[in-house]
Amino acid sequence: MRKISLLTLLASAMLLAGCTSHVTSKQQYSGFITDYSQLKPATSASDRPTLRWISPDYRDGDYTSVVYTPVVYYPAAKPTPRVSQQTLDHIRSYADSRLKAAIGERKQLVTKPGPHTLIVRSAITGVTAENEGVQFYEVVPVAAVIASTMAATGHRTQNSALFLEIEARDAQTGKPLIKVVRKAFGKPLNNSSAPITYGDVKSAIDDTVSDAVHFSAP
């Protein structure tokens, strides 16, 4: 049997590690925001990959207030064997309070549309877990077999993930001005049957909310 060189192993590790997507795929778009084709890859304020679109007509200084719409699940979330209703409620409540507070630090919150006002709506479009990217040691043939067996039997380590979509419109014209689609990772899970808890995705919410409101705009 031909020996596999270290260089080949390294190259394989890089290719396999690249299979893990750090942004929302087109198949994971929920339909919550309009026209996903406008989204472009971007880097968040914390240097994480995201998808974002800012209208060329948007000028941050033109808007002084925001009509905030509470965070929803879209589509409507249902409990699963891994995510309880209590967890879903806690995640939504925390995301809503964090996002509202963060936007309030940047713009004045108002209850009625008016001039120089944005309407911000947002949705959690997924709370899930996915297998971690292939680690370097798993590229070694024997270890790769072990890793694939673990994945098949549900014992492979997974990453918890949260998907959030945000859209801001001009309150008077209804014209879309900002769109953000973000996939954020929380704590790792031991296997594919481990329950996903609020604590697992809390950091994902914190990172996503912070980045959603701390971006550079004209």
- Is the residue at 117 inside a domain? yes
Q: Does residue 3 have a pLDDT over 70?
A: no
- Is the residue at 187 inside a domain? yes
Count of domains forming the chain: 1
Q: Does residue 12 have a pLDDT over 60?
A: no
Measure the CA–CA gap between 38 and 192, rounded to whole angstroms.
Answer: 34
Side-chain-side CA neighbours of residue 6 (13 Å):
0
Closest CA to 166 of 79, 95, 84, 76: 95
Q: Does residue 37 have a pLDDT over 60?
A: yes
Q: How confident is the model at residue 27 (pLDDT cuts 50, 70, 90)?
A: confident
pLDDT mean over 60-79? 94
- Is the residue at 112 inside a domain? yes
Measure the CA–CA gap between 165 and 183, rounded to whole angstroms.
Answer: 9
pLDDT mean over 61-65? 96
For residues 127 and 179, the answer to whether their CB atoms sit within 8 Å is: no
Map tokens 């270890």 to a residue. 143
CA distances from 74 to 4, 77, 85, 122 (A): 47, 7, 15, 9
CATH number for the domain including 66? 3.40.50
For residues 155 and 191, the answer to whether their CB atoms sit within 8 Å is: yes
For residues 209 and 196, the answer to whether their CB atoms sit within 8 Å is: no
Q: How confident is the model at residue 210 (pLDDT cuts 50, 70, 90)?
A: confident
- Is the residue at 32 inside a domain? yes
- Is the residue at 168 inside a domain? yes
Q: Does residue 2 have a pLDDT over 80?
A: no
- Is the residue at 121 inside a domain? yes
pLDDT mean over 146-160? 53
pLDDT mean over 112-130? 93
Q: Which residues of 185-200 are buried (b: 16+ CB within 10 A; e: fewer)?
A: bbeebeebebebbbeb
- Is the residue at 37 inside a domain? yes
Q: Provide the domain limits for residue 174.
A: 23-131+158-213
Measure the CA–CA gap between 52 and 166, rounded to whole angstroms.
Answer: 9
- Is the residue at 148 inside a domain? no
